[in-house]
Structures are given as C-alpha cells and as structure tokens.
Amino acid sequence: MQEIIAKTRTFRRFIQKERISLTTLEELIDLARLGGSARNGQPWQYMMINTPELCAKVFPFLGWAGYLTDWKGPVEGERPSAYILCLLNKQRLKGSESEAQFDLGVATQNLLLGAMEKRIGGCRIGAFNPQLASLFDMPDHLQLSLIVALGKPRETVILEECKNDEDIRYWRDEHGVHHVPKRTLESCLVSLALR
C-alpha cells in the first residue's frame, strides 16, 4: 500500500498517442464510486472522454501546474489521452456542497490509485475555465467541479522532504524531472496537552 500510494503522483506529461479505452475508464470510475461518502449520498457522476477529437476540445480550458510559471502545460504529443469530468448531481446532495467535495477527494484518490496500478498517471484539474461546461448540453442539476486528466506518464516524478515549512512548491530540475516536496511525518504530527 505504501508503495502504490507513493507512486501515485500527479503526472502532467503523457504519451498522448497511447489511447485509454472506455472499459479502462469505466473500471476506474467503478473504484471511485466505492469510496466513502458523507451520509452515503454519493452525489458524483462522471463523464468519460477518450477520443482525440474531444480531448482536443477539452484541453484549452485546463490550467496546469501554477508553480511552474515558465511552463504553459503539456505540448501536443504529451497531452492527456483521456479525461474524466466530475459532475456534482445536485439532486443527489444530502448535505452541504463541502461534504460532497470531501467525497470527491476520496473518490478521485481511489480512481488515481487504480489508474497507477494500470500504469496510467493522472492529474486532477481544479483550475479549469468554467466555460468548459458550455461545450456540453449540461442539465441544470449537474455542476462541473473537477477534471481528472489521464494518460501514460512521460515524465519522472520524485517525492522529496520539505526542507523547511515554506518549501512546498513543486519544481522541475534541468533534466525535466519533477520534484514534489512533502512535509515530514514529524511536522504532520501534533500533540496537544490535556487541559
């Protein structure tokens, strides 16, 4: 479990020509739907996109790697070969929208872990242009909240320890290797004295 969790990094450069089948995408969504859900409301629905034509339409709406200010996102040939649009079905909301966002975190982590097991990498995209929704005939009860970009990874991603508390920015070295600083276990532990 430690190994697969550590390997399940965010990937942003892919071998674009390696297509991902709808069957594979369905298998991943099948993992997403089994995640824990506040009040067991399970308000999320997913749209699969895997054709080059539709992928090309989605791509311009996506925001990539805010900390890599001199990188505009993956170039043609390195773009995702599939997307999963995460749609909040407001008719299925039992609690608050923020509860639903927790559910989506759980669901997409299941999805990405399952993807990595199949050697597929992914990136959650929260920074998308909301006009993306207008590509589709979107009913009022569905709200586009997150996109998961998927593809065969074409980059190396390395975990490292944060050297200090502020040092959380991911970065790319001169070989194009992507480094992701994670806070140390020690710095994630809190011990509070009893009153």
Burial class of residue 81, CB neighbours in 10 A (0-12, 13-18, 19+): buried
Give dist(CA 63, CA 126) in Å, integer: 8
CB 59 within 8 A of CB 79: yes
CB of 27 to ligand FMN, least distance (A): 21
Residue ranges in 24-63 that form contacts with ligand FMN under rule CB under 6 A: 63
Work out whether 86 is an interface residue with ligand FMN (CB under 6 A): no
Binding map of ligand FMN across residues 93-112, x = CB under 6 A, - = no contact: --------------------
Question: Judged by CB, which is closer to ligand FMN: 95, or 181?
Answer: 181
CB 83 within 8 A of CB 58: yes
CB 155 within 8 A of CB 175: no
Binding map of ligand FMN across residues 65-84, x = CB under 6 A, - = no contact: x-------------------
Candidates 113-121, 123-131, 136-144, 184-192: pick the segment binding ligand FMN (CB under 6 A). Answer: 123-131
Work out whether 13 is an interface residue with ligand FMN (CB under 6 A): no
Local structure of residue 101 (DSSP, 8 states): H
Among 84, 107, 123, 132, binds ligand FMN (CB under 6 A): 123
Q: Which residues contact 87 (CB under 8 A, 6 or more apart)?
A: 44, 45, 46, 47, 142, 143, 144, 145
Question: Judged by CB, which is closer to ligand FMN: 139, or 176?
Answer: 176
Give dist(CA 147, CA 195) in Å, integer: 45
Question: Judged by CB, which is closer to ligand FMN: 20, or 124?
Answer: 124
Residues that bind ligand FMN (CB under 6 A): 9-10, 12, 63-65, 123-127, 157, 170, 180
